[in-house]
Amino acid sequence: MKKKIISGILVLLIGCLIYGFYRYNKPPQSLEDVKSELFFSAKELSNKFVADQNKIAKRISKKVVEISGVISSVEFTAHSTLVIVGKNIKCEFQKKHEDFVVGKQVSIKGVYGGFDELFNEISLIKCQITN
Amino acid sequence: MKNWIVTLITLLVLSPIVAQKMLTRTGVIHFSSETPIEKIEAESAQVASIFEVSDKMIAFNVLMKSFKFDKALMEEHFNEKYVHSDKYPAAKFKGTIIDDLDLANLNLNEFVQVSIKGEMHFHGIKKPIQINGKIKLNDNNSFDFECDFPLTLSDYNVEIPSLIEEKIAKEVMIGVKANYKKS
């Protein structure tokens, strides 16, 4: 009986250690399989930031936001792609999207990363294309 | 009348060269903390920066949430427990190159050392700092800028819990790389 309890506790302990190890080393979650929670056109979101930045920032914070609009600029870096959608929404993708061109109509989901005050741009990070 | 027109045309032709505002949206900032126990590093590849050539002014803005970590837990702790990115979303630097250099007329494709005196604004604290870096004028008229400097976390009220003190360096190394193009 004692042996069974001790083995039981050991299994539990090892299980906890393995889980802890897995959680500690887990890479940041991709939004590929995560559903969008809020939807805006690029124009709509840009206008909301002009109207009341704090209000809209609070609303979209920590939520998966989906925007639709036209790509106005594309830039590739070593491991990522940065596009500006509409007037001032900058979206960062963790891979090279060679198919992104200026003028392309896109729907993108991402998480709000903040408002860049140098260029007055709304930042969306961990972006995924949805169309 | 003629002189006035000539002067105006000359100014219009020269102004793009003299008043060069260069910019980038994809500057890279890498930081690393190394202790015998752990190496923690992260990188942002969407640093916004401007370089005003004639004024010798450089400014950087980086959103803390744009730093990418290998481990989700580290990213979470970084944002929520250490830099408090909801409260202080961006780190900023603005400074002036103090060297006596004609930046518009550098030798092509050759890095020159520069010292930049300015102010760092991070985690709600503003602090004057001097950074040493290097600048290169490329033959496509873009500028490359690189610098490395240490940042003492406690200078900016970033608190490390005593329990994990040995895992995080008191001084982290910041590396910056930017390629500036005409705006």
pLDDT single digits (tens) B130-149: 999 999 999 999 999 999 99
Gap between the terminal Cα atoms of chain B: 33
The pLDDT score that the predictor gives to residue B116 is 98
The residue among A92, A39, A94 whose CA lies nearest residue A64 is A39
| Candidates B50, B69, B90; nearest CB to A28 | B69
Query: What ipTM was reported for this prediction?
Result: 0.88
* d(C-alpha B42, C-alpha B173), whole Å: 11
* d(C-alpha B88, C-alpha B79), whole Å: 10
The pLDDT score that the predictor gives to residue B14 is 54
Inform me whether the C-beta atom of residue A99 falls under 8 Å from chain B C-beta atoms. no
CB count, 10 Å around CB of A83? 26
Inform me whether the C-beta atom of residue A31 falls under 8 Å from chain B C-beta atoms. no
For residue range A21-56, list pLDDT tens digits in order: 888 889 998 999 999 999 999 999 999 999 999 999
For residue range B71-120, list pLDDT tens digits in order: 999 999 999 999 999 999 999 999 999 999 999 889 999 999 999 999 99
Inform me whether the C-beta atom of residue B26 falls under 8 Å from chain A C-beta atoms. yes
CB count, 10 Å around CB of A5? 9
Mean pLDDT score of chain B, rounded to an integer?
Answer: 92
pTM for the predicted model, two decimal places: 0.89
Identity of residue B162: S
> Phi and psi at residue B155, in whole multiples of 5°?
-60, -25
Question: What is the mean pLDDT of the segment spanning B5-25?
Answer: 71
Inform me whether the C-beta atom of residue A3 falls under 8 Å from chain B C-beta atoms. no
**Which one-letter DSSP state was computed for residue A98?**
T
Lookup result for tokens 């979470």: B76
Pair B63, B44: CB distance under 8 Å:
yes
Residue A88: its chain B contacts at CB < 8 A?
Answer: none
| 3-class SS of residue A77 | coil
Say yes or no for a CB contact (<8 Å) between B46 and A82: yes
* d(C-alpha A15, C-alpha A18), whole Å: 5
Min Cα–Cα distance to chain B from A23, Å: 7
Identity of residue A65: V
Which range among B30-44, B133-147, B156-170 shows the weakest confidence by mean pLDDT? B156-170
Q: Closest residue of A to B179, CA-based?
A: A77
The pLDDT score that the predictor gives to residue B12 is 64
Say yes or no for a CB contact (<8 Å) between A90 and B71: no
The pLDDT score that the predictor gives to residue B166 is 86
For residue range A60-108, list pLDDT tens digits in order: 999 999 999 999 999 999 999 999 999 999 999 999 999 999 999 999 9
| 3-class SS of residue B18 | helix
| 3-class SS of residue A121 | strand
